């Protein structure tokens, strides 16, 4: 069974160091009944620039980007079983978690949240996920 590359026109493709160079990464790959979504950040899909400095705005944009990729794979957050979060500043956790909880609207996932340095200046949150299909 070959892997299926999933691409969303409503979400940015990450993994670039030069905006003029195509990314070597897929937004997501489906293998069988599992979807692996690359880490997304708070980038505006049209400009590929950081959408805001505010952690809650960044969290919402990041989740919107993930949502767009899930939709391209005919999935929603209801299919997501695991999310991994990297926060540049762990002191942002409470505000991040508030925006995350509001956005998820009661949907349950497993999640790991760590402090680290996302690869791009101005990006204060990055999230990837794994989704499953019946």
What pLDDT sits at residue 17? 61
Domain ranges for the chain: 4-132
What pLDDT sits at residue 113? 97
Structure tokens, 83: 């999310």
What pLDDT sits at residue 12? 87
- Residues ≥6 apart with Cβ < 8 Å to 119: none
- Of the chain, the end-to-end C-alpha distance in Å amounts to 17
Q: How far is CA 50 from CA 47, 80, 95, 97, in A?
A: 9, 25, 18, 19
Under a CB-based contact definition with an 8 Å cutoff, are residues 80 and 40 in contact?
A: no
Under a CB-based contact definition with an 8 Å cutoff, are residues 127 and 39 in contact?
A: yes
Under a CB-based contact definition with an 8 Å cutoff, are residues 25 and 65 in contact?
A: no
Beta partners for residue 86, in sequence order? 114, 126
- What is the CATH topology of the domain spanning 4-132? 60s Ribosomal Protein L30; Chain: A; (3.30.1330)
Query: Cα dihedral sign for 113, 8, 31, 80?
Result: positive
> Of 127, 125, 122, nearest to 47 (Cα)?
122
pLDDT mean values, one per 10 residues, the chain (134 residues): 93 73 89 97 91 97 98 98 97 98 96 92 96 95
Structure tokens, 75: 């999935």
| Alpha carbons 127 and 29: distance in angstroms, whole number | 16
What pLDDT sits at residue 24? 85
What pLDDT sits at residue 15? 66
């Amino acid at each position: 069974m070959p892997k299926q590359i999933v691409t969303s026109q409503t979400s940015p493709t990450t993994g670039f160091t030069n905006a003029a160079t195509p990314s070597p990464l897929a937004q997501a790959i489906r293998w069988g009944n599992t979807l692996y979504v690359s880490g997304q950040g708070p980038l505006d899909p049209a400009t590929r620039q950081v959408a805001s400095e505010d952690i809650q705005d960044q969290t919402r944009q990041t989740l919107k980007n993930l949502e767009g990729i899930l939709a391209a794979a005919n999935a929603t957050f209801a299919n997501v079983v695991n999310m991994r979060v990297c926060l540049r500043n762990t002191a942002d956790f409470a505000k991040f978690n508030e925006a995350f909880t509001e956005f998820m609207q009661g949907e349950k996932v497993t999640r790991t949240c760590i402090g680290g340095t996302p690869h791009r200046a101005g990006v204060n949150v990055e999230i990837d996920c794994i989704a499953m299909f019946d």
